[in-house]
Amino acid sequence: MRKNIIFCLLSTSLLTFSCKEILIEKPESLLATTNFYKTAADANSAISAVSSTLHTTTLYGFRYLAHTTALEDYASGQGFYIPMSQYQITTPIIAVTDQFWAGFYKTIDAANLALKYIPAISMDETQKKQLLGEAYFLRALAYYNLVKNFGGVPVRTQPTQDLTAVGGKRETVETVYAQIIADLKLAETSLPLTQSLAGKPTSGSAKTMLADIYLVREQWANARDKAEEVIASAAYSLVTIKQSADFENIFGAGVVTTAEEIFSIKFQRSVAAGSALPQFYHLPTSLWAINGFGTFFGFPTYPLLRDWADTDLRKGYNLYTAGPNKAGTIVANSATQPIRFGKFKDTGAPASIASGNDFPIYRYADALLIYAEAASQASQGPTALAVERLNMVHRRAYGFAPGSPSSVDFTLAGQTAATFRDLVLKERAYEFIAEGKRWYDLVRTGTAKSVIKAAKGIDIPNSVLLMPIPKQEIDNNPDIAPTDQNPGY
């Protein structure tokens, strides 16, 4: 199926805006002039400028997700990512993490521009409210990524004209999360349940991120209840899986959207609007050698991969060995080592940065598993409904109908809050492999050091749990001193 997209190209003068069907933007610069914000088309362009900052090769199109994978317990890197997968934050690695800081603040600044100037535009008020909701959502997403990776950061809610000359002290983690929650509450009441363009956030997107935030903050009842709102909306369902290849209907390069998509970063199979992510996971194509680009490997001795049941259809889709040819034929689970990761496959990509695989930020499985974990934690032990929500994801992984009892079901009997949480975290690890969530699960549960030690035999330093504040920020921001740097850097 050909993926038709909405490709919004904002020129330097920011006067052009052309769209098709699905949201993908690639602007050359951010909107930066007050003279621009006059019409409804200008307002739409402003929001496109916000979204486009997330599609870059610095962020969701390339390095940000590769960086996260290197830290996780099932992957080892080579080349540039050897130090990262050994938890050694070298100068070249810091140069990349500095880009994450700058990249997400570009998102924030673009959102701040939209939030400042769109309210004064004369246009349909319903549409205006929706666009402002998108800006709040995307700003929250950027701050969420910053606080997860850097800890407390400056909270900026007004636009700047020069991103290298901004102030603001490092706020506490609590203050940053308070800003995120405030933005998401505005977003969930401003956004519609559905959007005409795939790739735009909805009220369900905002609710799911809120549930995620509450989970991280251990506000269990809030996380449970917000996840339940998403589930009760009946807006989403799990895609049917009968064999491993069916996961291509969720993650394939030609997929436009799915019943389980809550929010994704959209890419198109083209140099202008494509992703470079598949090359990190070794996909062999005519563009690369038989083993693919060669960034990450897994080994069968790693506990997460070692314990993965062969009957779990996710395993056959996500893991593969060296392809027998450069056309991209996948040979799943047929060799002992090394293992490659194949969730984001695009054997037809015309260039290394032109893959069409969308990147999922939230899927329906997120809402179900957030509910399961939060409900159990809130009740100090799993409820029948918490077990059922976990089973829905688990059944689908084995080819069963999500809503019907199956032979692979977990049961309530004998479960404690601790044992049930372990089940949920393991399910999350398999369901969201290569989606940039495992590392943050390990950090938030305080298990990163023990899990990495068991998997890789490495005693990771506490400093690795956060990235360093960029030196450029310390040098240029009068409100941040060298002593404000994260410990260990």
Residue-averaged pLDDT of the chain: 88
CB of 297 closer than 8 Å to CB of 286: no
pLDDT tier at 264, thresholds 50, 70, 90: very high
What whole-number percentage of the chain has pLDDT above 70? 85
Per-residue pLDDT at 435: 96
Amino acid at 111: A
- 340-379 per-position pLDDT tens digit: 888 988 888 888 788 899 999 999 999 999 999 999 999 9
Residue 464 backbone dihedrals phi, psi, to 5 degrees: -70, -20
- 300-325 per-position pLDDT tens digit: 889 999 999 999 999 999 987 655 43
Average confidence (pLDDT) over 112-129: 97
Most confident of 71-75, 289-293, 401-405: 401-405
Average confidence (pLDDT) over 287-301: 66
pLDDT tier at 288, thresholds 50, 70, 90: low
pLDDT tier at 294, thresholds 50, 70, 90: low
Average confidence (pLDDT) over 38-61: 95
Average confidence (pLDDT) over 170-187: 99
Per-residue pLDDT at 327: 38
Q: Does the predicted TM-score (pTM) go above 0.95?
A: no
Per-residue pLDDT at 326: 37
Per-residue pLDDT at 299: 82
CB proximity list for 35: less than 8 A, separation 6 or greater:
none
- Is the pLDDT at 337 greater than 60? The verdict is no
- 57-95 per-position pLDDT tens digit: 899 998 898 889 889 999 988 778 888 899 999 999 999
- 159-172 per-position pLDDT tens digit: 986 555 578 999 99
> Within 13 Å, how many C-alpha atoms sit on residue 387's CB side?
18
The domain locations on the chain are 6-161+171-218+465-477
Does the domain made of 6-161+171-218+465-477 have the CATH classification 1.25.40.390? yes
Per-residue pLDDT at 21: 52
- Is the pLDDT at 107 greater than 60? The verdict is yes
pLDDT tier at 115, thresholds 50, 70, 90: very high
As a whole number of angstroms, the distance between CA 6 and CA 344 comes to: 21
- Is the pLDDT at 292 greater than 70? The verdict is no
Per-residue pLDDT at 293: 58
- 205-254 per-position pLDDT tens digit: 999 999 999 999 999 999 999 999 999 999 999 999 999 999 999 999 99
- 8-21 per-position pLDDT tens digit: 433 333 333 333 35
pLDDT tier at 277, thresholds 50, 70, 90: confident
- Is the pLDDT at 198 greater than 70? The verdict is yes
